[in-house]
Amino acid sequence: MEEGQDWIYTDTVKEHFLNPRNFLMGDESKFKCDATGIVGNPICGDQMKMFIKVKDGRIEDIRWKTYGCASAIASTSALSELAKGKTLDEALEISAEDIDNYLGKLPKHKFHCSVLGHDALKDAIKNYKEQSASNTE
């Protein structure tokens, strides 16, 4: 890559930034989810909130909100597409590298943004499992 090109985004990144998938617009209370997860990244100041609906052990629906940069938005949009329909354990296996590859690679200094959505999803799944365990006790 030539000098000065480290800020170039792929068409897939641009598409997910400009037209994010599964983004939760408006009032969070209108999306009846089974669990939420929230994380923040002190490196870049981004914050992510993930909402999941689970049916038969699979992520039936997923929504998210963020205060973040274009890379965080695109990464979480991609993650939401990758996670939908997967079992909770399969969703936990989605790595930052999987997200980066799906997007056609983020600029190196923006790779950490692909971790933010995944961490929010991990937190939502953890909360779901904790709620499920407490409901069976």
Instruction: Catalogue the active-site residues.
Output: 44, 113
State whether residue 65 is helix, strand or coil.
Answer: strand
- Edge-first strand listing for the sheet containing 58-67: 35-41, 46-55, 58-67
Q: Are 113 and 75 in contact (CB under 8 A)?
A: yes
Q: For residue 29, what is the DSSP state?
A: G
Give the number of other Cβ atoms within 10 Å of residue 68's Cβ.
21
The DSSP bridge partners found for residue 50 are: 37, 64
